[in-house]
Amino acid sequence: MGFLLSLIIITYYIFIFQLIVLLFHQTEREREKKLVKQNHFMEEKFSELEFRAIEALRRNPRISVKDLAKELNVNRNTASRILRSLFNKGVKLKVTVESFPTVFILGKCVSWCEECYPLVDGKELCVVRSNDVSSILNKAEEAQAKEVLISMKGNVKDIHVRPSLTCDYCGKEIHQGEKYFTYTRNNRTYYVCCSSCLKELKRNMERTERL
């Protein structure tokens, strides 16, 4: 009787051991399949930036577009395009997309412009998205700003926009809502604050061209 009981116990432990080994091998096979699938996605489906974005989103599913752009060393526009591409490819991850105001600066493009578009009158359109509009306006002089437009999204309060136009003759600031004149010459548009400045600007430019 004691021998039979010992045999049953030994058989039981052998069975448990075999079951553990079987489960271990099954887990390893599943892990290998997952790794192969991940590598397949990385090589066939996703670009390097997209794969890095996926890894960042796995670590922090609620990462903001701004922080994702910083981690990938790209601008927010590129980060947004990467996210749209991932969503179109079926990646289901939650992110926090900020609704930043967009600032359009008519002047010259500088290093901090996110987008830059040349215009027919020789000026350039600088596009910047930021949650700190005042800091962008304080730097607008660097872009030789002739006009600044701000597109707001959401309920944004307490935003004070400083004058965005300057008279090209006397240098006076043209405040929002004030009347001003424009004068186009040699594919360039000039802004002046009054008819007297307009007259003097035309006279000076005609005199300069005759020299």
The DSSP secondary structure of 68-119, one letter per residue, reads HHHHHTS-HHHHHHHHHHHHHTT-----B-----EEEEEE---TT-SEEEE-
Q: What share of the chain is helix, strand, coil (3-state, %, to 5)?
A: 50, 20, 35
- Residues 19, 21, 22, 26: is their CA dihedral positive or negative? positive
Taking only the tens place, the pLDDT of each residue in 118-131 is: 775 677 888 887 76
Please state, in angstroms and rounded to a whole number, the distance separating the CA atoms of residues 165 and 77: 28
90 in Cβ contact with 57 (< 8 Å)? no
Element (H, E) at 147: strand 147-151
Nearest by Cα to 102 from 119, 77, 73: 77
Q: CA–CA separation, 69 vs 95, rounded Å? A: 12
Q: Which residues in 74-91 are b (16+ Cβ under 10 Å) and which e?
A: bbbeebbebbeebeeeeb
Of residues 125 and 92, which shows the higher confidence score? 125
The reported pTM is 0.31
Q: Which of 10-14, 15-19, 205-209 has the highest mean pLDDT?
A: 205-209
What per-residue confidence (pLDDT) applies to 156?
A: 39
Residue-level pLDDT at 52: 84
